[in-house]
Amino acid sequence: MSANNLNERFELIYGYKPNLNYFAPGRINLIGEHIDYSGGHVFPCAITQGTYATVSVRDDNTIRLASDNFKDLGIYEFTLDSLDFKAEDDWTNYVKGFIKILKDDGYLVDKGFDVLYYGNIPNGAGLSSSASLEMLTGVFVKDINNLDITDIDLVKIGMRTENEYIKVQSGIMDQFAITMGQKDKAIYLNTNNLEYELVPLKLNDYVIVIMNTNKRRGLNDSKYNERRSQCESALEILNTVHAEKYLCDHPLSRLEEHLDLFQDELVYKRARHAITENLRVLKAKEVLQNNDLESFGKLMNASHDSLRDDYDVTGIELDTIVSLAIAQDGVLGARVTGAGFGGCAIALVKGDIVDSFTKKVGELYAKEIGYEADFYIATPAQGAHKI
């Protein structure tokens, strides 16, 4: 849907023409999964699929929200003085939560608005539709209220919206990539200090194909919070030997040397994934900068194996589509992207076989799983911005 079409839809819904348009991308993570809350390095990029907002500022403190993705839910209405979480407010809690934390932090948000959202990120696909909605809201609320706040502080508020308001203990990668992304660049991010480097994504004759299993997952309903708790337990155990701030600061040798301290094997395996995944990200940056796509593909495969065997966040749908992808000629590697428990995987595929790849993998997946997958090309894109 174009901005013009969304403007027309806004006028139909609210009865007048809007005057502001914004966009926030979704994201994929090339490698570095489930370690942004353990102080690891991650390697995401923003993508061209994302969320649009058509906005008009009001002269009172009323907020009205509608989404063209949920037309049957109609318009949600509340004021800037009534921003508490309510389950019945559904997707709008991400918007309310972001604004509430801004206000709680002392930022003067006093302009109400009407907004129509539309996203072409499949819900529950693991491409960060919720973080895209949060950061999109942050960008236009900052703009219409003339807030003196940095992009990095907006990113932090996005993460706090998930952690403190939605009650999902996710890390900062999604909001960071969606806000700081640039066209044709990936982001090499150290999540324990937010130092980052924009790395040109040169894939030569290859492209990144997003493979949506169409197995929906909800972070709040998943075992996400449990995984984070297990990593925190592992950090406490290793810190009895040598204190570090984050789990990924511990070397693999220390973890292996002190296996006997772990009474719960699952806690040990969660730590092994986090520490080895961080090492894979460090290597991935090196091989991509050396244009060694074959080695990068192998790191993708190893990452998926670790997420399956040590972190247990994949499942039959993701494992099936990844194994089918890896088996095809012209594919260098594949892995789950995002939190897992359903959602999407990515594959590094020779550009001239993409059509035959999606046809074959799609047919085999539908035969084995019983329903179809969807496929998209991932193109690194600019972060959240005013159109």
Annotated active-site positions, please?
A: 174
| Exposure string for 37-49, b = 16+ CB within 10 A, e = fewer | bbbbbbbbbbbbb
Residue matched to tokens 């819900």: 123
What's the rounded Cα separation, in Å, for the pair 146 and 108? 9
386: which 2 tokens? 């005013």
91: CB partners within 8 A, 6+ apart: 67, 70, 73, 133
What's the rounded Cα separation, in Å, for the pair 314 and 306? 10
Helix residue ranges, H only, the chain: 3-14, 92-104, 129-145, 151-160, 173-180, 224-239, 252-257, 265-289, 293-309, 316-326, 354-369
User: What one-character-per-residue DSSP string does 298-315 give?
Assistant: HHHHHHHHHHHHTS----
User: What one-character-per-residue DSSP string does 120-177 give?
Assistant: -SPTTSSS-HHHHHHHHHHHHHHHHHT----HHHHHHHHHHIIIIII-----SHHHHH
Query: Virtual CA dihedral for 326, 381, 337, 32, nearest 10 degrees?
Result: 100
SS3 114: strand
Query: Virtual CA dihedral for 359, 365, 371, 372, nearest 10 degrees?
Result: -30
Longest Cα–Cα distance in the chain: 67
What's the rounded Cα separation, in Å, for the pair 228 and 267? 10
Contact predicate 295/323, CB 8 Å: no
SS3 372: coil
